[in-house]
A and B are shown apart, each in its own frame.
Chain A
Amino acid sequence: MNDPITHSLSHLDLNTKDETFLDSNELIINMGPQHPATHGVLRVILKLDGEKVLGTECVIGYLHRGVEKIAEHRTYTMFNPYVDRMDYVAAVSNGLGYCQAVETLMNVEAPPRAKYIRVILTELNRLASHQLWLGTHALDIGAITPLFYTFRDREEILKIFEKYCGARLTTHAFRIGGCLYETYDGFEREVKKFLTFVAPKIDEYEELLTTNRIWVERTRGVGYISAEDCIALGVTGPVLRASGVRWDLRKAQPYAAYSDFDFDIPIGENGDTYDRYLVRMAEMRQSLRIIQQAVDGIPEGPIMAKIPKVIKPPVGEIYHSIEAPKGELGYFIVSDGSTQPYRLRVRPPSFINLQALDQMVKGQMIADVVAVIGTLDIVLGEVDR
C-alpha cells in the first residue's frame, strides 16, 4: 500500500476492513507492466469484485523517451527518424504526418508522384498495422492461430518496405518535401502482386473469426462506447467509426493524394469490440482499393519539391493531422524561424484512445480488459513517446 499510485486511488477505500467473517474487500491486482496482454509496458491497476471489474487506473510512462523534448534540440531533418519510433508498427504514417506538417509550415508541396508513393506506402503500412492488431487482439482473446497468418502476410509488406528504403520497421521512408528514394524496378508489379495475394488472405482471417461463435460472444457488446463519449474523450480512428461516426481525415481534410481516390469509410453501429473488429477488417479492404488505384494512376515526374538544404521554416505555428491506422495523428509545431522547432507536440491517437479504457471496461469481466486493450489498438511507444 506504499505504492504512491495505488495509494492515490482514494476512491477505492482499501483501509476499511470488512467486519464480516469473510474479508470481502475488493481485490486490487496489477496488470503489467510485464504482462503478455498489455501490448508492451502498460500497467493497469484493476479493482475487482471477483471476476468483475469495478474500476481501472492506467499507469503509463514506462517507455517515455522524451521524443517531444528531443525535437527541440534537433533540426527538422534530424528529427524525422525519431517519429518512426513512436508508433513503431506504423512508422510510415508517423513520418508522413511529420513531413506534411513541416511542409505546410514551410508552405511547400510535395510533387504528385511523391504524393502517390506516400499514399501507397502509407496504406500498405495501415494494412500491416491492422494485421498486427488483428493477430495480437485475437491472441489476447485466445485464438492463437490468426497471429501467425497475419504475420506471414505482414512479412510481404515489410519486404516491400525493405526493398524501397532498406528498413522494415522504422522506415524513415519520406523526407520533408517529398521522397528521397525513387521506386525500385518492379515496385508497381510487386505491389500489385501483393494486392492479389493478400485479398484472399483477409477472407481467410475472417473465416477463422467473423462467424466463430466464441469470437462473437467474446466481442459483441464488450467494451461499448457511445459516439458522444468517443467525441467527448477525443477518441478517433476505427474506435470512433465503429461507434457510428463517419469521421476519417482522409475524406474530411484530404491530404497527400487521397482526394484522387475512390474509397469508402466503413462505420459500425454498436460501438462494441465486434464492430471495431469489422470496421478494421473493412478498412483493410478499403486500403487495398486505394493502393490499387494509386498504383494504377501513379504519375511520372520528380519526387522531391524544391526545398533549401537547410530547413528554416518561417516563424509561426502549425497543427497538421493525418489519419494514422490508430486514429488522428497530429503534429503541432511552433517555429521560431531557426533550424530547430521551438516546440513540437504530438497528438498520439493511442494515448488519447487509451483514456476510454476505464469507461469501456467498467462493470465487465477481467477477460474483457484484455479484449478492450486489444481493440483499442494501442502502441506503448506512442502512448509514452
Chain B
Amino acid sequence: MDHAIQAEGLVKRFGKTTALDGVSLSVRTGTVLGLLGPNGAGKTTAVRIFATLLRPDDGHASVGGYDVGRQAHQVRQLVGLTGQYAAVDEMLTGTENLLLIGRLLGMPRPAAKQRARELMSDFDLAGAADRAAKTYSGGMRRRLDLAASLVGRPSMLFLDEPTTGLDPRARNELWALIRGLVAGGVTVLLTTQYLDEADALADEITVIDHGRVIAAGTPDELKAKTGSQKLVVRPEDESHLPVVTSVVAELTETTPEVDGARVTAPVTDPAVLPAVVRRLDDAGVLVTELTLRGASLNEVFLSLTGRPVEDETDSESEGRPA
C-alpha cells in the first residue's frame, strides 16, 4: 500500500461555518505528514474525520484502504489518536488509564498490565505510575496521552497539536518520542501551528487555511517557496541604513523591509549571512544586531497568502465538544 491515509475533496460545515472546503491530502506509508495552519484552519476537523469521529459532508477519506465512513470499525482498529487536550481520565492513575485502553482493545488482563508497565517506563512515567493523572504536569499528561494511543500498537497515528502549550523541554521530549515511533514504522498525521515543529518532524507538509490547502510539499520545497529564514541587521549608526539596505537587497535579491533602525529580509540561502558580514565590514558599517532567524508561521502565511494569520479560534471549536 502506497498511501496509508488519503482524502479527496473533504467538505465539512458547522452551521454557517465551513471548516473544510475541499481538502485533499495523502500520507505515504511510514512517513509523517505535517498539517500546518493557524487556529481555525480546519486541522482538527480533518483529523476528527480521519479518526472516524466526524463524518464529512462531502468527499472521501480512507485510512489503510478502509473508508472512514462505511468501514469505520476497521479504521479504528488501525489508528491511534492523540488530541489537543490530553484525553486522559484524571481520576485514574497513569497505569489504570493504559490498562483501561488495553482491556477495551480486548487484551487479557495480564497482557494489558504488561503493556501498561512497558509504556509507562518507556515514556518516563514509571515513577508516577500509581498516582492519579490529575497530579501530572502538562508534559506528563501529554506523554500519557500519547502512550494511551499506542497501547494497541497502531500502525497509524493522528497527533493533533501534540505540543501546544508545552514548555520547550517537554516539547523536545515529545518530539524525541514521536521520532522513535516513526523509526518503528508508524505512519503519522501531525497537525501543528508551528513551522519549526512541522520542519523537525514531517517528511511532507500540507499547509491549510480557511479549510483549503494553500501549499503542499517537502519542508525544503516550502522553505524555498517562502524564504524560510529572516535576516535582521541593525546598524549602530542610523545614517548607515541606506548602505545596509542596498547590501541586503543585493545579496538576498529581495526588497528589504526597514522597520525603525532595523533592516529585515527573507533568506533562502544560509551563505548570505557571511557574505553580509564581509560586505558590511568592507563598507566600514558597525552593526549592533545581525541575526538569521527561522521564519514564523505568520511570515510563511504572509508569503503564501499575502496576508497575515488571523486567529479564528471559534470556527474550529465547533468541531469538538465545547
Chains A and B belong together in one complex:
no
